[in-house]
Amino acid sequence: MTPPSAPDGRDAGTPVDLVVVGLGYVGLPLAARACEAGVRTIGLDVSAEVADGLNAGRSHVGDVPDSVVADMVAAGFTATTAPSVLAAADTIVLCVPTGLSASGDPDLTAVRAAARTVAGRLRPGTLVVLESTSYPGTTEEVVRPILEHRSGLRAGDDFHLVYSPERIDPGNARFSMINTPKVVSGCTPLCAKHGVAFYGRFVDSLVVSRGTREAEMAKLLENSYRYVNIALVNEVALFCDRVGIDVWDVLHCASTKPFGFAPFQPGPGVGGHCIPVDPRYLESKARDEGFSFSTLSSARAVNEQMPEHVVDRAAALLAGQGKRLAEARVLLLGVAYKPDVADTRESPAYPVARGLRARGTSVAFHDPNVSRLHVDGTEVPKVDGLNPALRAADLAILMQDHRCYDLVQLAASGCVLLDTRGKAAGAAVTLL
Catalytic residue among 35, 187, 274, 415: 274
Partners of 428 in beta bridges: none
Select from 131, 105, 107, 127 the least CA-distant residue to 118. Answer: 127
Kindly tell me the sign of the dihedral angle through the C-alpha atoms of 97, 103, 104, 108.
Answer: negative
SS3 100: strand
- List the strands of the sheet with 362-366, edge to edge: 362-366, 329-333, 395-398, 416-419, 429-431
Mode of pairing for the β-strands spanning 395-398 and 378-379 = unpaired
Cα gap 227→178, rounded to integer Å: 26
Secondary structure, 3-state, 299-356: HHHHHHHHHHHHHHHHHHHHHCCCCCHHHCEEEEECCCCCCCCCCCCCCCHHHHHHHH
SS3 90: strand
Give the ranges where 168-244 is alpha helix by DSSP (H): 189-199, 212-243
Are the C-beta atoms of 136 and 217 separated by less than 8 Å?
Answer: yes
93, 97, 338, 256 alpha-carbon torsion, rounded to 10°:
-70
Plot region of 369 (φ>0 → left; ψ -120 to 50 → alpha; else → beta): alpha
| Contact residues for 307 (Cβ-Cβ < 8 A; gap 6+) | 268, 269, 348, 351, 352, 354, 355
SS3 177: coil
Mode of pairing for the β-strands spanning 16-21 and 41-44 = parallel
415 catalytic residue (yes or no): no
Cα gap 241→247, rounded to integer Å: 8
Cα gap 335→369, rounded to integer Å: 9
C-alpha distances (whole Å) from 352 to each of 36, 59, 226, 245 are 41, 30, 22, 24
What are the catalytic residues? Answer: 274
